[in-house]
């Protein structure tokens, strides 16, 4: 029955008499289930709008979905081990930091913390690996995120909306096939564990975020989950914290007079988030005893350059000696990644990209979307940066996702039938104290869909939407 679903879904999308009432129903269901976001900052502070979502869930091979879920705890371990390997980070980032000021500043903070012997004893990692399905049939990793990863329960709410939608169109059995297997409290319990290890009942969690963040409600979900365990969260911008942060003689961090057990960065990943004062603050936070999510080493472990070097022969083996199965499982998700370092290997990568730019993506060391180059822009950038500057980037095979038709539903824009491609993110959390890994878990998924004609998505631009996987 489920195998015929893609065909059934396509037929529904062509049923014009059904679509208008269905979209209206879906919008109302999304309101009731809380699939919401803050509208762009020009709107009034109390305004709420729908998080754009696809009208129907997205058919996805079950085996590929579970491959992504099952490999996540291995990626958690990998990121954690990379973050503890000073020689590897130093060697891997040495060419990048010569030309990329932002990564260089992060790296200098990292080195200073190492020199001062302040390697954190409690580590809380919240990571997410993103994938696309190459030709619809193989799971390929887009990137590893170690910064500002949140998993606030919106995916679970959207599954409820998609269930209602399938029931509305007379597909009750299919609606039962939609599942969200990750309890909403797993991420919060990792944060709670780190808070408990920090060991002060008075201490609170500091959530670094902007008041204009569209994803505010997901953050509130985490806050409410923590409140159930009597753990308080205070929300501040980096500027606000600059004005009031201090360390006591035992390096305990205080903000507005409150002791901080956990600092959770929900932004601070882009150069324009930083002023000189905020760079000083970043160093102060790293020096403090508070648990940082992520700490500076884990932040660096999430750079695109590290991702590229991890794909080189023998490198995964360094982190998993004697574990060939683990290496194999992780490596199976990698697509072609190429260094642009100076030398014959980098020259070959440049020639390859210039010969067929449509087959590649050129990526700088940036996060948050909108930074990559595609197609003829790759040729332009590589021609304009022929020397050392090219080492600020990595080159990657372009993953060829197969589009499927859907409708992006939002509050403002009229619904349009469009071909969409999707990106599956699987998030994980781990807690380590010294050498002991105390937990390592999958906390949830994030399925994003974008109009196939755009190379990058993004919900704010109207090209992207949240979705749910329909496993077939």
* Chain positions contacting ligand ADP, by CB under 6 A: 130, 132, 142-143, 361, 363, 366-369, 371-372, 396, 398-399, 423, 456-457
d(CA 148, CA 368): 9
d(CA 323, CA 13): 47
Nearer to ligand ADP, 140 or 235 (CB): 140
Nearer to ligand ADP, 249 or 358 (CB): 358
Instruction: Say how far residue 161 (Cα) sits from the centre of its chain.
Output: 23
Nearer to ligand ADP, 143 or 295 (CB): 143
Backbone φ, ψ for residue 439 (5° rounding): -155, 155
Instruction: Say how far residue 328 (Cα) sits from the centre of its chain.
Output: 23
Helices and strands, counts by H and E, the chain: 18, 21
d(CA 419, CA 166): 20
Nearer to ligand ADP, 120 or 150 (CB): 150
Half-sphere exposure of 19 (CA within 13 A, CB side): 18
Nearer to ligand ADP, 318 or 454 (CB): 454
Q: Which of 463, 471, 461 is nearest to 424 (CA)?
A: 471
d(CA 173, CA 179): 12
How far, in Å, are 75, 262, 288 from residue 120 at the CA level? 20, 12, 9
CB of 469 to ligand ADP, least distance (A): 16
CB of 64 to ligand ADP, least distance (A): 16
Nearer to ligand ADP, 295 or 367 (CB): 367
CB of 341 to ligand ADP, least distance (A): 19
Assess contact for 110 and 266: CB atoms under 8 A.
no
CB of 304 to ligand ADP, least distance (A): 7
Nearer to ligand ADP, 118 or 454 (CB): 454
CB of 448 to ligand ADP, least distance (A): 7
């Amino acid at each position: 029955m489920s195998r015929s679903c893609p065909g059934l879904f396509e037929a529904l999308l062509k049923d014009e008499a059904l679509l208008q009432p269905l979209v209206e129903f879906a919008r109302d269901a999304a309101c009731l289930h809380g699939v919401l976001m803050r509208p762009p900052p020009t709107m009034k502070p109390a305004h709420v709008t729908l998080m754009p979502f696809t009208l129907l869930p997205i058919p996805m091979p079950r085996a590929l979905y579970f491959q992504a879920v099952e490999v996540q705890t291995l990626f958690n371990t990998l990121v954690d081990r990379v973050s503890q390997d000073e020689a590897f980070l130093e060697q891997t980032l040495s060419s990048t930091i010569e030309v990329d000021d932002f990564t260089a500043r992060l790296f200098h903070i990292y080195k200073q913390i190492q020199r001062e012997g302040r390697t954190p004893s409690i580590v809380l990692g919240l990571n997410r690996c993103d994938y696309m399905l190459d030709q619809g049939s193989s799971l390929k990793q887009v990137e590893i995120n170690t910064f500002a990863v949140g998993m606030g329960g919106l995916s679970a709410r959207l599954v409820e909306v998609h269930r209602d939608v399938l029931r509305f169109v007379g597909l009750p059995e299919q609606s039962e096939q939609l599942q969200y297997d990750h309890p909403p409290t797993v991420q919060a319990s990792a944060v709670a564990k780190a808070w408990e290890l920090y060991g002060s009942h008075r201490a609170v969690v500091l959530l670094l975020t902007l008041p204009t963040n569209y994803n505010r409600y997901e953050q509130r979900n985490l806050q409410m989950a923590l409140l159930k365990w009597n753990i308080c969260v205070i929300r501040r911008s980096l500027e606000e914290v600059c004005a009031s942060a201090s360390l006591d003689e035992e390096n305990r961090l205080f903000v507005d007079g409150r002791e901080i057990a956990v600092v959770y960065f929900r932004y601070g990943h882009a150069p324009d988030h930083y002023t000189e004062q905020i760079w000083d603050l970043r160093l102060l936070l790293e020096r403090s005893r508070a648990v940082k999510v992520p700490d500076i080493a884990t932040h660096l472990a999430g750079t695109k350059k590290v991702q590229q070097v991890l794909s080189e022969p023998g490198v995964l083996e360094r982190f998993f000696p004697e574990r060939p199965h683990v290496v194999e499982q992780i490596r199976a998700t990698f697509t072609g990644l190429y260094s642009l370092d100076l030398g014959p290997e980098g020259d070959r990568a440049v020639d390859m990209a210039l010969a067929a730019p449509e087959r590649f993506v050129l990526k700088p060391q940036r996060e948050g979307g909108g930074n990559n180059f595609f197609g003829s822009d790759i040729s332009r950038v590589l021609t304009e940066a022929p020397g050392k500057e090219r080492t600020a980037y990595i080159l990657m095979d372009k993953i060829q996702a197969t589009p499927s038709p859907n409708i992006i539903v939002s509050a403002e824009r009229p619904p349009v039938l469009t071909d969409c491609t999707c990106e599956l993110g699987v998030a994980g959390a781990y807690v380590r104290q010294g050498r002991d890994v105390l937990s390592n878990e999958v906390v949830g998924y994030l399925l994003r869909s974008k109009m196939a004609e755009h190379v990058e998505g993004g919900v704010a631009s109207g090209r992207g939407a949240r979705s749910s996987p329909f496993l077939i």
